[in-house]
Amino acid sequence: MSVYQAPLRDMQLLVEQALHKSGLANCSGLEEFDSDLVSAVLEEAGKFASGELAPLNTVGDAEGCRFENGRVTTPPGWKDAYRQFCEAGWMGLALPAEYGGQSLPKFIAQPVNEMWLSANLAFVMFHALAQGGSEILLHFGTDEQKQRYLEPIITGRWTVAMALTEPGAGSDLGALTTKAIPGRDGSYLIKGQKIYITYGDHDMAENIVHLVLARTPDAPAGSRGISLFAVPKFRIGNDGRPGESNDLVCTGIEHKTGLHGSPTCSISYGDNDNCYGELIGHENRGLEAMFVLMNEARLSCGMQGVGLGEAGFQRAQAYALERIQGTDAVNGGGRTAIAHHPDVARMLLSIRSEVMGLRGLGYLIAALIDKAEHTDHADERKTLQARIALLTPVFKAYATEKANLMAGTTIQVFGGMGFVEETGVAQLMRDARITTIYEGTTGIQARDLVFRKIKADGGEALLHLLAEIDQDTEQFHADNPFGPHLRQNASAVRQAVEIINSAANHSLALNAGGVPFLEALGKLCCAWQLACTANTAIKREHENPQYYRNLRALADYYFAFTVPHIAAHLTTFRHADRGVAEYRFEP
Amino acid sequence: MSVYQAPLRDMQLLVEQALHKSGLANCSGLEEFDSDLVSAVLEEAGKFASGELAPLNTVGDAEGCRFENGRVTTPPGWKDAYRQFCEAGWMGLALPAEYGGQSLPKFIAQPVNEMWLSANLAFVMFHALAQGGSEILLHFGTDEQKQRYLEPIITGRWTVAMALTEPGAGSDLGALTTKAIPGRDGSYLIKGQKIYITYGDHDMAENIVHLVLARTPDAPAGSRGISLFAVPKFRIGNDGRPGESNDLVCTGIEHKTGLHGSPTCSISYGDNDNCYGELIGHENRGLEAMFVLMNEARLSCGMQGVGLGEAGFQRAQAYALERIQGTDAVNGGGRTAIAHHPDVARMLLSIRSEVMGLRGLGYLIAALIDKAEHTDHADERKTLQARIALLTPVFKAYATEKANLMAGTTIQVFGGMGFVEETGVAQLMRDARITTIYEGTTGIQARDLVFRKIKADGGEALLHLLAEIDQDTEQFHADNPFGPHLRQNASAVRQAVEIINSAANHSLALNAGGVPFLEALGKLCCAWQLACTANTAIKREHENPQYYRNLRALADYYFAFTVPHIAAHLTTFRHADRGVAEYRFEP
């Protein structure tokens, strides 16, 4: 049963909002990507998501992947869907046409990605890896490496796997011990054990390019001694085709609470001291290269939050409109669909408002990336890149934290039926659970935000964002009531920036208060997006009264139910050493 | 691997706090239940929980129940553990000695229950049913029924099942359609389909007493036409022993996301028009009787939240003290256990502070129930009963909502390992997910709180509680800084009571704002309990400095990280119609 329909109207509206807010709408060189093209792409992608991917989502969850004799078998239907996905050109949508992609801008690719993530997150995990892997090669690969790897990856003949984590090196990549011994021909021999490798092995493509972090013999300790290697599952012959097996073996897959359809592999590299790898970029600068992929992956995680939220909302709303139970306590009358119970409406709106705010933010970041690429002004590019860097950890962490809450709320709307696996919504909760962990936990995003994205530039990028929020409110329609609330909360965040700037790096309050601060900023960003959407809705109400009134109501809801917590988070942030300073954990 | 150890020190401290705060400490008739007895019982129960029940928890999750040919088989080890549980007398701990119980007061039974719930929630689901079923029979059964049913239930030879829900009647019990046709001998013939019946069938006891809600032929429509029947799986012979099968059959068990070890049954009653049932209490007053069990079950749900939270905390703390990763950003030095990362400490404290606050509340309610039973003054009893009735929905809903968050946080502390099923903490999340749904959803608890427990008595019971919180702060030690914050937040809740009193029953804001209001009151109650515990800790610091400093630190943490959100929830409560009023859901 395909239960997902791409929310095309919402998507188009927020693409338009992102184009406008990023300034991309006035940017030359993108004229061909007009609203007709956007509509056509989104419509086509929507059909593929509903028709091909969504029906496989519960299959993947129920059947999972199998591991036998060092080989991973994906769930029934996976392989065929993968072939179709590649043949339709979805893999390389936003990758260079030169290597087989479609060169579409990210502002179009982002809603398309959202559809895949809503329809079947476990399946489509390979996609962000291909995207990020390609960008690494485009940035850091030699011409020869680009020729060798990019076309097969972008067309989906080969997939990308990202081998970072080791049993003793998770969040702390600097502790990894996998070795890379240089050979005479310029290649390296890789040796080590890696875990948690998504699609580290599978049966869908003819080769797998492992991007492996490892240390050369004389590398400095810690994160400044890590290099990045491309390690193909099958060595690549002179004809560019996969040939003999490389010396790497999948030793098992994890039995996870969610994402059953996505194999999470342990891989042993170089058991026979013959695992070929080639250096990508410079020795000891592997983390820098990996972070290109990591940033891509973090944005994808944020979109996973949006996608899972939307998938949950659609199911919860459909059920709540259909399930008759009790009577309407406010309007009277006979038995009613539960959507008309105020508390159920509250739950549905909590999901929908969060999804719309986060979607606005996710699309905006995509448009900012396009803008940074298309601008001719170095200063503007720098400012845009700082904005993107600032918003990335907020979007990653806030969207995924909310994805967990939204999945819980979706189950709650279904009541007892939500707890029964066949209903399908428990899977959302189980799948969502990893999103706050992988690609950097929420705590790590908060550190990144507070220290690298705010403190390191004296808060400039954030103050610039807050000023823009203020400016936006000045342009609000006379009937838009959200300006003063936004300005007041932006001002409260501004005061927190002063605290961040004046505190020492080792301040306990700063270190313990990162997540509450990120929660405050995440809510402010969503409130900003929702208020802007409401502004459009107010102006266009006559075009489609119910739709636009609903969009305005979402902002109303969010400012009443969620925005009041911004001040609470910031109060916490100011006192975040309390209790943490005195408590001693003991076994 | 038994990973749970009963937190005896915390439990004894909070039992003492509950005795003091309920006034039970000065109550005559309970002298024999002194602290030595409490210690002895808790210690013994702790051994059973760690040694017998906890090791079966992952077995139950992994193996689940089986359903074949109308019969349910419980997981390996379940049956033997049940026998031991009954033989040790745990089933009837707080039930009358006259019928085979131990007549212990609830203030001792509550921490014991908590241990079972921490160790193996799925297993012990039968216990609250036996407790509640016995209380129904004690209140509403005839002497003959008491003789027939109580001893077998209290000694565990027979179990109790609660058959309320039907496919079309979940939260709205008034819609149920199961029929009860009176026969000539005073018995009834039951006919209908019920679902979601915990332990509706199993292989652990010689009989199962189904308490079934049904309608007699001329019953009024809705909830005033519902009667309660005892329907034994095996008809009871004149010798009081189970004899021939009654006409009821288990038609299936649910495939749930959690609680795999607890069978959730669908039962068909009277397929052959020969399902014997006997009326409990009066016709058409079944809900009143069922609510005795329901209140019991709601308190048990609240304790489930505490128990799951404690189980998660123990695992998360143990892992965080053992897992080495990264360096300490605040204190410097080499690699460190993750418990010393401020954000991980924050997560651990968020769980522990919530558990301690909720435990204080749960034990207090138990002591208040004892007090209401032991007082000779009708007025005092009435006041106590109003307090218990007020706190029940708050405890049920707030503790179970937090249980979900705490389980998520526990997984987050484990990082990627938490997502792997073998680690065992994903089970906490899956098990916890039903607790906000069964025995009345959070939305229903909020309605109960706002309308029946506050508005119906003009807020008297709540205002009385708030006055007591204020009084308590007057007694605080000079070094206790929490009084002003508590009074300020109590005062904010007091203002909300005025809104509740003055609003109409059909006010949208009142109906949509119930959950935010309940969240505020839940946090206030936990803050109150934690501040009282901190007060004791301040006075006793010299006895065990680190332990008591930690308890004070928990209150510090809670007032910095959680209490600021009380005001935010109350702001929402005042505007809870916003957005909800205007939004129209459409398919």
Which are the catalytic amino acids of A? 439
φ, ψ of residue B581 in degrees (nearest 5): -65, -40
Q: What is the pLDDT of residue A500?
A: 98
- pLDDT digits over B212-261, tens only? 999 999 999 999 999 999 999 999 999 999 999 999 999 999 999 999 99
Q: What is the pLDDT of residue B26?
A: 85
The single-letter DSSP state of residue A161 is E
* A199 CB burial (10 A radius; 0-12, 13-18, 19+): buried
> Shortest Cα distance from B426 to chain A (angstroms)?
6
pLDDT tens over chain A, length 587 residues: 458 999 999 999 999 999 999 999 888 888 899 999 999 999 999 999 999 999 999 999 999 999 999 999 999 999 999 999 999 999 999 999 999 999 999 999 999 999 999 999 999 999 999 999 999 999 999 999 999 999 999 999 999 999 999 999 988 999 999 999 999 999 999 999 999 999 999 999 999 999 999 999 999 999 999 999 999 999 999 999 999 999 999 999 999 999 999 999 999 999 999 999 999 999 999 999 998 889 999 999 999 999 999 999 999 999 999 999 999 999 999 999 999 999 999 999 999 999 999 999 999 999 999 999 999 999 999 999 999 999 999 999 999 999 999 999 999 999 999 999 999 999 999 999 999 999 999 999 999 999 999 999 999 999 999 999 999 999 999 999 999 999 999 999 999 999 999 999 999 999 999 999 999 999 999 999 999 999 999 999 999 999 999 999 999 999 999 999 999 999 999 999 999 999 999 87
Give the orientation angle of helix A8-22 with respect to helix A106-140, to 10 degrees. 60
List the single residue in A with minimal CA-CA distance to B441.
A415
CB B92 within 8 A of CB B99: yes
According to DSSP, the residues that pair with A265 across neighbouring strands are A197, A253
CB A258 within 8 A of CB A427: yes
> Shortest Cα distance from B256 to chain A (angstroms)?
4
Q: What is the pLDDT of residue A28?
A: 84
CB A424 within 8 A of CB A311: no
The single-letter DSSP state of residue A450 is I
> Shortest Cα distance from A201 to chain B (angstroms)?
18
Closest C-alpha to A449, from A571, A300, A580, A298: A298
Question: pTM to 2 decimals?
Answer: 0.98
Measured over the CA atoms of residue B220, residue B226, residue B231 and residue B237, the dihedral's sign is negative
User: Which of the residues B439, B474, B498, B541 is marked catalytic?
Assistant: B439
Q: Which residue has the tokens 């680690």?
A: B423
CB B526 within 8 A of CB B558: yes
Contact call for B434 and A441, based on CB within 8 A: no
- pLDDT digits over B354-392, tens only? 999 999 999 999 999 999 999 999 999 999 999 999 999
Closest C-alpha to B361, from B291, B424, B298, B427: B298
CB B287 within 8 A of CB B175: no
- pLDDT digits over B194-222, tens only? 999 999 999 999 999 999 999 999 999 99
Nearest by CB: A342 against B411, B511, B554: B511
Closest C-alpha to A96, from A39, A41, A153, A49: A153
High-pLDDT (> 70) share of chain B, %? 100
Average pLDDT for B152-179? 95
Contact call for B557 and A580, based on CB within 8 A: yes
Helix, strand, or coil here: B99? helix
Give the separation between CA B214 and CA B193, rounded to whole angstroms.
Answer: 10
Q: What is the pLDDT of residue B27?
A: 85
Q: What is the pLDDT of residue A573?
A: 98
Which residues, in sequence order, are CB contacts of B382 under 8 Å at separation 6+? none
Q: Is the ipTM reported for this complex over the cut 0.95?
A: yes
Give the separation between CA A426 and CA B535, rounded to whole angstroms.
Answer: 42
Give the separation between CA A304 and CA A397, rounded to whole angstroms.
Answer: 11
Give the separation between CA A453 and CA A463, rounded to whole angstroms.
Answer: 11
Nearest by CB: B580 against A342, A422, A565: A342
Q: Is B87 a catalytic residue?
A: no
- pLDDT digits over B522-562, tens only? 999 999 999 999 999 999 999 999 999 999 999 999 999 99
- Give me chain B's average pLDDT, please: 97
Contact call for B512 and A576, based on CB within 8 A: no
Interface test with B, best of A406, A585, A586 (most B CBs within 10 A): A585
Number of residues that make up chain B: 587
CB A416 within 8 A of CB B196: yes
Residue A472's CB is within 10 A of a number of other CB atoms, namely 18
Closest C-alpha to A163, from A40, A269, A285: A269
Nearest by CB: A585 against B320, B343, B559: B320
The single-letter DSSP state of residue A193 is E
Contact call for A572 and B561, based on CB within 8 A: yes
Helix, strand, or coil here: A440? coil
> Shortest Cα distance from B171 to chain A (angstroms)?
7
Q: Are strands B158-163 and B207-214 parallel, antiparallel or unpaired?
A: parallel
Query: How is A119-176 classified by DSSP, letter by letter?
Result: HHHHHHHHHHHHHHHHHHHHHH--HHHIIIIIHHHHTTSEEEEEE--BTTBSS-GGG-
CB A329 within 8 A of CB B446: no
Which residues, in sequence order, are CB contacts of B304 under 8 Å at separation 6+? B117, B121, B399, B400, B403, B432, B435
Give the separation between CA A210 and CA A225, rounded to whole angstroms.
Answer: 19
Interface test with A, best of B198, B565, B573, B583 (most A CBs within 10 A): B583
Residue B98's CB is within 10 A of a number of other CB atoms, namely 12
* B9 CB burial (10 A radius; 0-12, 13-18, 19+): exposed
Nearest by CB: A564 against B321, B507, B568: B568
- B433: which chain A residues are within 8 Å (Cβ-Cβ)? 408, 411, 418-419, 426, 429
φ, ψ of residue B266 in degrees (nearest 5): -100, 135
Helix, strand, or coil here: B381? helix
Identify the helix (H) or strand (E) that includes residue A328.
none
Q: What is the pLDDT of residue A587?
A: 77
Nearest by CB: B422 against A255, A342, A353: A255
Contact call for A257 and B430, based on CB within 8 A: yes
Q: What is the pLDDT of residue A397?
A: 98
Give the separation between CA A482 and CA A476, rounded to whole angstroms.
Answer: 9
Q: What is the pLDDT of residue A495?
A: 98
CB B83 within 8 A of CB B93: no
Which residues, in sequence order, are CB contacts of B359 under 8 Å at separation 6+? B10, B11, B14, B114, B306, B310, B529
Closest C-alpha to A145, from A228, A226, A245, A203: A228
Residue B475's CB is within 10 A of a number of other CB atoms, namely 10
Q: In terms of DSSP H, where are the helices of A147-215?
A: 151-154
Measure CA B543 to chain center: 33
Q: What is the pLDDT of residue A1?
A: 41
Identify the helix (H) or strand (E) that includes residue B312.
helix B286-322
Average pLDDT for B12-24? 96
Which residues, in sequence order, are CB contacts of B375 under 8 Å at separation 6+? B27, B381, B384
Average pLDDT for B320-342? 95
Q: How many CA atoms lie within 13 A of A114 on its CB side?
A: 33
Measured over the CA atoms of residue A550, residue A553, residue A555 and residue A561, the dihedral's sign is negative
List the single residue in A with minimal CA-CA distance to B516.
A561
3-state secondary structure B323-357: CEEEECCCCCCCEEEHHHCHHHHHHHHHHHHHHHH
* Amino acid occupying residue B175: A
Distances (CA, A) of A326 to A339, A346, B172, B176, B223: 11, 17, 5, 11, 11
- Helix (H), strand (E) counts: chain A: 19, 14
Contact call for B349 and A257, based on CB within 8 A: no
Radius of gyration of chain A (CA): 24
Give the orientation angle of helix B342-374 with respect to helix B106-140, to 10 degrees. 50
